Amino acid sequence: MAQQNLFIGSLAYATTDDTLKAHFEQIGAVASARVITDRDSGRSKGFGFVEFVSESDNQKAVDQLDGKELDGRAISVGLARPKEDRPRRDSGDRGGNGGGSFRQRSW
């Protein structure tokens, strides 16, 4: 069974993987800490995931860090839901005129 991650919401845009990891290490040893970023701009999306070495630290982190401040913002901490198998979005026709804002003239 996969290790249970924590979902961390309401992160400041200045929060990095390293500052997130350091904040959660006050609870226990952190296996990984990831701030999710936009693929195109590289800017934080305002949420991330933390995985502890010991899964017993998850509930402790939720109890002690939910609503606490990190980088000037009160963060939300909860157990992450398992990733759902979602159908991939294809880049095909989405109806209308192909989804673009440019409309081909027909004259």
The pLDDT value given to residue 82: 82
Domain extent, residue 22, equals 6-79
In a domain, 33, yes or no: yes
Over the chain (107 residues), the average pLDDT of each successive run of 10 is: 85 97 97 96 96 95 97 96 74 55 66
Q: Cα dihedral angle (73, 77, 82, 86), rounded to 10 degrees?
A: -20
In a domain, 66, yes or no: yes
The pLDDT value given to residue 25: 97
Q: How many domains does the chain have?
A: 1
The whole model's pTM is what? 0.77
CATH for 48: 3.30.70.330
